[in-house]
Amino acid sequence: MSVVTIQAVNKIFGKAPNQTVALQDIQLEIEQGEFISLIGPSGCGKSTLLRIIGDLITPTNGTVLVNGKPAEKARLDRDYGIVFQAPVLFDWRSVEKNVQLPLEIMGKSSQERVARANQMLELVELNGFQKHYPYQLSGGMQQRVSIARALSFHPQLLLMDEPFGALDEITRERLNAELLNIWSHTKTTIVFVTHSIPEAVFLSTRVVVMSARPGRITQVIPIDLAQPRGMETREQPRFYELVTQVREALRGSEGIK
């Protein structure tokens, strides 16, 4: 069953004559357990598409179904976890309290909250940092807390908006590997926005290439690299072929306008 079905979605910002067509005629099916990357030049509407899937904004027209339900219903059912580029941690809450926040809102018992927070912090390799406060952590660690928080309530769908965009290359590659590890453990479907080609190829089962003005999907490239992937994956010839293929698709998409 598809987790996400996007049909004929358009998104127009502003009113005539100052309209911007952010997304035009988007069609996309995402299957259970997939890792989908949205890649494209800035202004191609990839983050907009992610927000539409998460019902943080509504499309001008078209339908978005998540688990067969309208996106809004899915949001109210807490089917999504979201991770932004900035960690958006609450600085007055300790690490564990940050991770517990969604569980508090969902009315879970304090026992369950503590147990799940510990489990998630284990998963993102931050065990022992429960009582720390966000300002005491590095940027990479803060982002891992943010991922733990998004996963704490076991959402079926994880939406990530350039989560590692603000991190240095070394931290980024390490977190890429960690994220794949989390993905294979949790079987969560992930939609991932990025503008890094190697990152998209390394992580994804499919890469969705988008073009700007108007934002549309120009190509969907399946990534057939073997699972599980590790540091050595990046050195395989096939990895470079796919990176080149995505790069050319991106160039081609720019040619359209």
**Which one among 33, 41, 43, 139 touches another protein, defined by CB under 8 A?**
139
Region of 27 on the Ramachandran plot (φ > 0 left; ψ -120 to 50 alpha; else beta): beta
> What is the greatest pairwise CA distance in the chain?
56
Q: Which is nearer to another protein, 50 or 217 (CB)?
A: 50
Structure tokens at 27: 């069609």
**Binding flag, residue 142, another protein (CB under 8 A):** yes
CB of 4 to another protein, least distance (A): 15
Give the sheet arrangement for strand 2-13, strand by strand: 20-31, 2-13, 61-66, 69-70
CB of 91 or CB of 235, closer to another protein: 91
- Considering CB under 8 A, how many residues would be counted as binding another protein? 33
Cβ-based nearer residue to another protein, 105 or 231: 105
Instruction: Single out the residue of 8, 105, 115, 256 in contact with another protein (rule: CB under 8 A).
Output: 105
Q: How far is the CB of 109 from another protein (least distance, A)?
A: 17
Contact residue for another protein among 56, 177, 225, 243 (CB under 8 A): 56
Strands (E) in the chain, as ranges, are 2-13, 20-31, 35-39, 61-66, 69-70, 80-83, 157-161, 189-194, 206-211, 216-222
Q: Taking a C-beta distance cutoff of 8 angstroms, is the pair 216, 23 a contact?
A: yes
Site for another protein in 14-53 (CB under 8 A): 51
At closest approach, how far in Å is the CB of 40 from another protein? 21
Can you name the residues that pair with 194 across neighbouring β-strands? 39
For the segment 63-102, give every residue that binds another protein (CB under 8 A): 75-78, 80-82, 84, 86-94, 101-102
- 35 vs 84 by CB, closer to another protein: 84
Side chain identity at 221, as an amino acid letter? I
Hey, which residues between 153 and 182 contact another protein (CB under 8 A)? 153
Taking the mean position of all CA atoms in its chain, how far away is CA 226? Answer: 21
- What the block records as the tokens of 37 is 């990357």
Residue placing its CB nearer to another protein in the complex, 6 or 207: 6
Question: What is the C-alpha to C-alpha distance for residues 143 and 133, in angstroms, rounded to an integer?
Answer: 13
List contacts with another protein (CB under 8 A). Answer: 51, 54-56, 75-78, 80-82, 84, 86-94, 101-102, 104-106, 133-136, 139, 142, 153
